Structure 1
Amino acid sequence: MFDLVIRDAEIFDGSGTKPIHGDVGVTNGKIAAIGPKLGTAKESVKADGLALAPGIIDGHTHYDAQITWDPFVDPSPALGVTTTVLGNCGFTIAPCKPQDRDLTMRHLTHVEGMSLDALRAGIRWEFESFPQYLDMLEKNGVGPNVACFAGHSAIRTFVMGTDATERASTEAEVAQMADLVRDAMKAGAVGFASSTAEAHNGEGGTPMPSRLADDRELRTLVRAMSESGKGVYMLTKGSKTSIPYLEEIAAEAKRPVVIAALFHSNTNPTASFDWLRQVNEARARGHALVAQTSCCPLSMDFTFKSPYLFESMQAWKPAMAAHDPAELEKIYRDPAWRASVRAELEAKRGRLLFNSEWNKLFVVETAKAENRALEGATLDVLAKQAGKDPLDFILDFALSEKLDTMFVAQLLHNDDAAVGKILADPNTHISLSDAGAHLTFFCDAGFGLHLMGHWSRDLGVLDLPQAVHRLTGQPAKLFGIEGRGLLREGYAADLMLFDPTTVARGPKRRAHDLPAGAARLTASAVGLHGVWINGTKAADEKGFCADPKARPGEVLRRFAA
């Protein structure tokens, strides 16, 4: 007798091949049989022709902090995700010395849009080293399966303290960092993650620690990761780490290099395709470069208390360094400062996160009732009506509402024709949900449902077997996750039951359920009928349904070469 049989399903096995019709039987959290008319079970689920696939593997999340207070990392399991990869960009919370905890949290508040109050109230600091962090997760239990990167910024801070954001490292410090990378790989890290992206700034606008690493440090740490013959090097790249440079690193380490973030820009429409071409040429030479992209348009909700979309700009540094609201408002009013911002927007058009597309920047929610009629309007229209420059208008308006106005910017990746070409490339890694981060700006945790609904069903960019493969079998192979990502006998029963005719991510909504009552954006699934993690049901058609005390996930610590 099986523990569970899902009967009469269209079975998409994660390999990209055409589906078969039949049943899937589960025993002890593993797939025990696949075939027609399987026998009796303790629990039977009638699929009635719905699609059954492996659970989604989300390869780019930032749940490192949240998972310590929320083992089910809401909302991902209710959106089809059964495995999450933490620690991307190198922004981990382990290793971390007790004296560096508050600094680490303050950096995360800035670079990843996390609430400092929520982090201070929520993080369980029951660890200091990276191995201890994995041990803690294993001891406390996890909802979905979890793989963790060793994080460059955390390792650099552990060795260098506050100097990590100030200077290059010494030979002795690099040697210490390399030992920490080796220890992390021995303990079960999925690889080593870093960032050189100019948009990645910590407290007060200082660069995140990994951005201070020189070539010697970077190569040494990737080599330390690769000594085990396993591991993935993940980098969110900036302008100083070119694709040819990363090909050198891949060739030297003989390990995959996953490169984020491949977004299409309407103001620089060829850049993403030049990047993708270089990556594919490197692959043709036998070097495993992988471009990490998104299937969601990049949009962000923000206020001018923390306008992330502008903070990669040099001209914005004074505002990021402001110590209190009064100083920030004074900077925003300064005509000379505004002129410097305007000049940089013009000079770097097409190379910034926000590229002066004022027609794609909207008022979402006003602070004053008398301004409600402006909600939903674009900034280009409002500025024109007011006879003002758009930058002057948006700053003046925000200042008039004490910086409480909520705006949304549609930034990148919003040209379906261009984005479709990127997604159709079979070697891109479709991920970049950033789940767990930027919680006040956006929620893309349902990216997999969007791929299957919008891109597969609605636009036909990928057929459904391929869409499922790109979310399951492909990332499992990329990260060396064995026994998952496919529906095979003996594999883990990580399962997702959905209706291909309706599957989608639902509208985002704001919730105030983080520690200390902090707010976040979240979303529900559409057309998702069931999610099982190692055979335990985590979600049904109404959403999350697991016992909150259940811990069906596994901390993944062994990966294929």
Structure 2
Amino acid sequence: MAHDLIIRNGTIVDGLGGPPFTGDVAIDDGVITAVGTVDGPGQREIDATGLVVTPGFVDLHTHYDGQAIWSDRLIPSSAHGVTTAVMGNCGVGFAPCRPDDHEVLVDLMAGVEDIPGVVMVDGLPWTWETFPEFLDALDSRPRDIDVAALLPHSPLRVYVMGQRGVDREPATDEDLALMRKLATEAVQVGALGFASSRLTLHKSESGHPIPSFDAGHAEIEAIARGVKDAGGGLIQFVPDLVAGDYGPALQTVFDVAEDVRLPVTFTLAIGNAGDPFFVDGLTMVEKANAAGGDITAQIFPRPIGLVIGLELSGNPFVMYPSYRELAHLPLAERVAEMGKPEVRERILADRPAGDGHPLMFAAQAWEWMFPLGDPPNYEPPRTDSIASRARARGVSPLEEAYDRLLDDDGHAMLLVTLANFRDGSLDTVAELLRRDDVVLGLGDGGAHYGMICDASFPTYMLTHWVRDRATGRLPLEDAVRELTSAPARVAGLADRGRISVGYKADLNIIDAATIRLHRPVVTHDLPGGGRRLDQSADGYVATIVSGEVIAENGAPTDARPGRLIRGRRPAPA
């Protein structure tokens, strides 16, 4: 009998870091059934001569909680080889949630993850209240790739405590008991674990800290024990990265993890300058793992930052009253007005009014702000910063930024590198990518629609870190391991992330010579006509989920084999 699908004569990169080899891959019933030389025909065959064949990529840190409800495509992630996305990160999401608290969670997601409220109002049917009901809603809709979910701390806290939870009052013994019970229930029906955050910048749209912000040791422990009661799972955590010392918050979670025996993955950011406090975090990881723990630091492989522009949520003038007078105009009209000398003079002489979004301080970080071209350069020379360009022209940085925003008829974008760009390079990132206790993540797909488009990081790994960087490049097999089996292990999804018999048939076929990342573009395809940044790539010849081709040469097919993953998955026998 013919195999369902055979990929012929590709350069196979197994996902475990083994050397690439030439061979075939056969697939039947959504599972890899042969690797090497495959005799006999396939109902469909793909000639991969000269192409790289990898496992599908696993993204540990996404926020597709809403998009997975209102859309059957998880783009941009699925356009960059991702076949499994884990959501519910940072302790925010949409379940559990009583009807009276819908506005609370919408306000939270709008502030923390820059998802416009109208998008959530129009896109979410709210056919659930409990977390099991939310998973049922996810399970009822086919989509292009697989999704898995963590139980988010802030909705859980609000569900248990009501307004007391929103106001961040201490949890009572009764509250803790119910949180533990609901965490057990969530893992029993399929949650991979739970997620929490103490990041200062994580605020609701109305400006309040998230409910989980200062939750104590007892609360973290109660939820963790609930996860353990159901058989175990992952703790995902965001410490206060802007505090300069996130050791105390990490220690709380590490202590709980040691007592309860659960793995932890947490967000690690590298300051561009100043004390290298991230080193202390890694020292804590080494100590915890030496004592028998399972701790990984999640790192993003390019600068953590924002994309700003006249079409986006932020720009250097977004809080200026004189600019706000024009902000409602269509882009072409706004650009025409801003091009008038008297308007330019008035805006440049103005001052911001109000604090705005907590990330808007970055909109005037001139030394760390760069024009973002096509192809985009995420490791630009310091001489290309807005500050350096202004000095070369003999103008103020504000003037240089103003003029650059008007480039490309107002479609121009500026990259603000907030972290990971230490001393103006990614050299420190290069060192950390090689550590076994560091894992890739923080792509944030499904969130920050008007400020960030980082879900494209798998393509950046394959271009910048494998092929294009002058120094510090990674071998292809190492980069693929970091995109596949390494995050799959952290998530507890041992059935995917490698090309071997019995494993899930999630695969990419890639032209390593032509793969290319394009500059983000603005599109309006969210519910209610909401805006988002999208980013495409060349070089993905095919992406396969459960044996079905979901995209060919950058174009999606009609196949929607993606499903909800309920719970951790063992390796195949």
Measured in 2, the distance between the counterparts of 1:353 and 1:83 equals 34
CA contact (8 A) 1:90 1:150 kept: yes
Measured in 2, the distance between the counterparts of 1:444 and 1:354 equals 17
2:563 aligned with 1:554:
yes
| Pairwise CA RMSD | 3.6
Q: CA deviation at 1:387?
A: 7.8
User: Is the partner of 2:537 in helix, strand or coil?
Assistant: strand
Deviation track 1:164-194 (CA, whole Å, cap 9, x = no partner) reads 2313222222222222111101111000000
User: Is the partner of 2:514 in helix, strand or coil?
Assistant: coil
User: What residue in structure 2 maps to residue 137 of structure 1?
Assistant: 138
Q: CA deviation at 1:379?
A: 5.3
CA contact (8 A) 1:107 1:208 kept: yes
User: What residue in structure 2 maps to residue 181 of structure 1?
Assistant: 183
User: Is the partner of 1:189 in helix, strand or coil?
Assistant: coil
Measured in 2, the distance between the counterparts of 1:192 and 1:309 equals 34
Q: CA deviation at 1:281?
A: 2.8
User: What residue in structure 1 maps to residue 539 of structure 2?
Assistant: 527
User: What residue in structure 1 maps to residue 302 of structure 2?
Assistant: 296
CA contact (8 A) 1:23 1:38 kept: no
User: What residue in structure 2 maps to residue 368 of structure 1?
Assistant: none
Deviation track 1:87-112 (CA, whole Å, cap 9, x = no partner) reads 00111111111111122112211110
Deviation track 1:416-454 (CA, whole Å, cap 9, x = no partner) reads 211111112122111110011111112111211211221
User: What residue in structure 1 maps to residue 291 of structure 2?
Assistant: 285
User: What residue in structure 2 maps to residue 315 of structure 1?
Assistant: none
Measured in 1, the distance between the counterparts of 2:462 and 2:309 equals 32
Measured in 2, the distance between the counterparts of 1:309 and 1:174 equals 43
Q: How does 1:363-374 map to 2 (within 5 A)?
A: none
Measured in 2, the distance between the counterparts of 1:101 and 1:406 equals 34
Measured in 1, the distance between the counterparts of 2:440 and 2:274 equals 21
CA contact (8 A) 1:8 1:22 kept: yes
Measured in 2, the distance between the counterparts of 1:52 and 1:205 equals 46
CA contact (8 A) 1:182 1:224 kept: yes
CA contact (8 A) 2:182 2:226 kept: no
User: Is the partner of 2:494 in helix, strand or coil?
Assistant: coil
Deviation track 1:493-536 (CA, whole Å, cap 9, x = no partner) reads 10001122233432211111111111111111222111000011
Measured in 2, the distance between the counterparts of 1:436 and 1:137 equals 15
User: What residue in structure 1 maps to residue 489 of structure 2?
Assistant: 477
* Shift in CA distance, 284/353, structure 1 to aligned 2, threshold 3 Å: farther
Deviation track 1:363-402 (CA, whole Å, cap 9, x = no partner) reads 789xxxxxxxxxx9825765998987x789989x99xxxx
2:223 aligned with 1:217:
no
User: Is the partner of 1:487 in helix, strand or coil?
Assistant: coil
Q: CA deviation at 1:78?
A: 1.7
Measured in 2, the distance between the counterparts of 1:424 and 1:102 equals 43
CA contact (8 A) 2:311 2:522 kept: no
User: What residue in structure 1 maps to residue 503 of structure 2?
Assistant: 491
User: What residue in structure 1 maps to residue 271 of structure 2?
Assistant: 265
* Shift in CA distance, 221/539, structure 1 to aligned 2, threshold 3 Å: same
2:265 aligned with 1:255:
no
Measured in 1, the distance between the counterparts of 2:153 and 2:305 equals 27
User: What residue in structure 2 maps to residue 443 of structure 1?
Assistant: 453
Measured in 2, the distance between the counterparts of 1:195 and 1:471 equals 24
User: What residue in structure 2 maps to residue 373 of structure 1?
Assistant: none
Amino acid at match of 2:182: L
Measured in 2, the distance between the counterparts of 1:427 and 1:176 equals 33
User: Is the partner of 2:206 in helix, strand or coil?
Assistant: helix
Amino acid at match of 1:252: D
Q: How does 1:5-404 map to 2 (within 5 A)?
A: 5-168=6-169, 169-238=171-240, 239=243, 241-260=248-267, 262-268=268-274, 270-302=276-308, 354=362, 357-361=365-369, 378=386
Question: Which sections of structure 1, spanning at least 5 residues, go unmatched?
Answer: 311-318, 346-351, 366-375, 399-403
* Percent of aligned positions that are identical: 32
* Shift in CA distance, 234/130, structure 1 to aligned 2, threshold 3 Å: same
User: Is the partner of 1:286 in helix, strand or coil?
Assistant: coil
User: What residue in structure 2 maps to residue 372 of structure 1?
Assistant: none
Q: CA deviation at 1:71?
A: 2.2
User: Is the partner of 1:270 in helix, strand or coil?
Assistant: coil
Measured in 2, the distance between the counterparts of 1:110 and 1:501 equals 40
Question: Which sections of structure 2, spanning at least 5 residues, go unmatched?
Answer: 328-347, 374-383, 406-410
CA contact (8 A) 2:313 2:451 kept: no
Task: Report the number of matched residues.
Answer: 521
- Further displaced range: 131-140 or 270-279: 270-279
CA contact (8 A) 2:107 2:206 kept: no
Measured in 1, the distance between the counterparts of 2:174 and 2:399 equals 49
Amino acid at match of 2:531: A
Measured in 2, the distance between the counterparts of 1:159 and 1:211 equals 16
Match of 2:468 among 458, 463, 486: 458
User: Is the partner of 1:181 in helix, strand or coil?
Assistant: helix
Amino acid at match of 1:430: L
Measured in 1, the distance between the counterparts of 2:458 and 2:39 equals 29
- Further displaced range: 510-519 or 276-285: 276-285
TM-score, with normalisation over the residues of structure 1?
0.84
CA contact (8 A) 2:110 2:116 kept: yes
Deviation track 1:21-44 (CA, whole Å, cap 9, x = no partner) reads 111011111111112143201111
Amino acid at match of 1:276: L
* Shift in CA distance, 377/282, structure 1 to aligned 2, threshold 3 Å: closer
CA contact (8 A) 1:166 1:212 kept: no
- Further displaced range: 290-299 or 60-69: 290-299
User: Is the partner of 1:438 in helix, strand or coil?
Assistant: coil
Deviation track 1:39-73 (CA, whole Å, cap 9, x = no partner) reads 20111100012110110001000000011011221
CA contact (8 A) 2:23 2:36 kept: yes
Measured in 2, the distance between the counterparts of 1:540 and 1:72 equals 15
User: Is the partner of 1:43 in helix, strand or coil?
Assistant: strand
Amino acid at match of 1:412: A
User: What residue in structure 1 maps to residue 331 of structure 2?
Assistant: none
CA contact (8 A) 1:53 1:496 kept: yes
Measured in 2, the distance between the counterparts of 1:387 and 1:504 equals 35
Measured in 2, the distance between the counterparts of 1:22 and 1:305 equals 47
Deviation track 1:538-560 (CA, whole Å, cap 9, x = no partner) reads 1111x23221xx43012111315
* Shift in CA distance, 391/268, structure 1 to aligned 2, threshold 3 Å: farther
CA contact (8 A) 1:72 1:142 kept: yes
- Further displaced range: 190-199 or 69-78: 69-78
User: Is the partner of 2:488 in helix, strand or coil?
Assistant: helix
User: What residue in structure 1 maps to residue 341 of structure 2?
Assistant: none
Q: CA deviation at 1:115?
A: 1.5
